[in-house]
DNA sequence: AGCACA
């Protein structure tokens, strides 16, 4: 019995923050953060999502959970998940997030990125900015999202998607009718899911009727592929029910 | 490729 795990070089020790790269750099920051929030909130409460557009940090993001288990699950289930046509690469973040450190009481302002190496003297002269509390959670602030689904190819995801095959009374149509969506679901979220399939054209939602959407493809072969792939996909607690739209 | 806290 070897207790030696194959801890290869690039591993980082568990952290409640995950570091994501290989993100699609064309996506606007605000949308990116919202979508990440949407996708990852299924694994636990999210304290913060950070992303930057500087050269050095493009295509990367940090998602801060309120505990490390959520982060672990998120990595296990979402690493390599296709997201805006690219596969997310996810690891634990290398260091503790500020929002966590502030809650900890271990926060050190980053102007002076000094290590704490005082051996006998404490300096308390600096302003303790304790007034920050964790009330900044954006968990309920963001609209609907995903379970985990098998979009592009082999998504490393065991259980979860239970394709319900509804009797489709409507004949094939290049437009799909999606039902049972959480009311907060945004077109953007649906677009992210459906745009992975060939022939995707657009998502339309009806403000007056929350919970449903129309998704248009170039032809009905393509809409059929998307329908079968995403049938029963979970957005928050809800399984999408997809049928052909009535003509 | 790239691990920060606008």
Instruction: Indicate yes or no: strand B within 7 A of the C-beta of A65.
Output: no
In a domain, A216, yes or no: yes
Burial of A4 from C-beta contacts in 10 A (0-12 / 13-18 / 19+): exposed
Query: What are the residue ranges of helices labelled H in A147-219?
Result: 187-194
Strand, helix or coil at A61?
Answer: strand
The pLDDT tens digits of the residues spanning A7-64 come to: 444 568 999 999 999 999 999 999 899 889 878 887 899 999 999 999 999 999 999 9
Strand partners, A239: A234
Instruction: Indicate yes or no: strand B within 7 A of the C-beta of A53.
Output: yes
In a domain, A52, yes or no: yes
Beta strands A238-239 and A234-235: pairing type?
antiparallel
How far CA A201 is from CA of A9, A165, A168, A179, A230, in Å, comes to 43, 24, 22, 19, 16
Residue that finishes a domain, picked among A56, A79, A104: A104
Q: Which domain holds residue A25?
A: 17-104
What phi, psi does A105 have (nearest 5°)? Answer: 95, 5
Burial of A217 from C-beta contacts in 10 A (0-12 / 13-18 / 19+): buried
The pLDDT tens digits of the residues spanning A143-183 come to: 333 344 444 433 333 223 333 333 446 788 999 999 999 99
Residue that finishes a domain, picked among A59, A84, A104: A104
In a domain, A213, yes or no: yes
Q: Kindly report the pTM of this predicted structure.
A: 0.56
Distance A217 CA to B6 C1' (A): 39
Q: Which of A17-26, A36-45, A108-117, A123-132 has the lowest mean pLDDT?
A: A123-132
Q: How many domains in chain A?
A: 2
CATH number at residue A207: 3.30.70.330
Higher-confidence residue of A226 and A237: namely A226
In a domain, A154, yes or no: no
**How big is chain A by its Cα radius of gyration, in Å?**
21
Instruction: Indicate yes or no: strand B within 7 A of the C-beta of A12.
Output: yes
The pLDDT tens digits of the residues spanning A55-100 come to: 999 999 999 999 999 999 999 988 998 888 899 999 999 999 999 9
Chain A span 86-125 residues with beta carbon within 7 Å of strand B: 91-99, 110
Instruction: Indicate yes or no: strand B within 7 A of the C-beta of A238.
Output: no
In a domain, A138, yes or no: no
In a domain, A209, yes or no: yes
Residue that finishes a domain, picked among A104, A129, A152: A104
In a domain, A140, yes or no: no
Question: Residue A58 has which token pair?
Answer: 């493009």
């Amino acid at each position: 019995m070897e207790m030696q795990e194959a801890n290869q070089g690039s591993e980082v020790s568990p952290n409640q923050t995950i570091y994501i790269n290989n993100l699609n750099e064309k996506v606007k920051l605000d949308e990116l953060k919202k979508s990440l929030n949407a996708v990852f909130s299924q694994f636990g409460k999210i304290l913060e999502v950070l992303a930057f557009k500087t050269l050095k940090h493009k295509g990367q993001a940090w998602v801060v959970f309120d505990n490390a288990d959520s982060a672990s699950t998120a990595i296990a289930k979402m690493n390599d998940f296709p997201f805006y046509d690219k596969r997310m690469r996810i690891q634990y973040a290398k260091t503790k997030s500020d929002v966590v450190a502030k809650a900890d009481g271990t926060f050190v302002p980053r102007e002076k990125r000094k290590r704490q190496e005082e051996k006998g003297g404490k300096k308390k002269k600096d302003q303790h900015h304790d007034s920050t509390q964790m009330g900044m959670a954006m968990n309920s602030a963001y609209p609907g999202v995903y379970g985990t689904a098998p979009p592009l190819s082999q998504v490393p995801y065991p259980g979860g998607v239970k394709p319900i095959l509804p009797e489709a009374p409507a004949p094939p149509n290049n437009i799909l009718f999606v039902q049972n969506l959480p009311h907060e679901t945004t077109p953007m979220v649906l677009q992210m899911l459906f745009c992975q399939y060939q022939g995707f054209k657009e998502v339309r939602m009806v403000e007056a009727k929350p919970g449903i959407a129309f998704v248009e493809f170039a032809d009905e072969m393509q809409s059929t592929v998307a329908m079968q792939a995403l049938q029963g996909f979970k957005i928050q607690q809800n399984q999408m029910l997809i049928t052909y739209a009535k003509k």
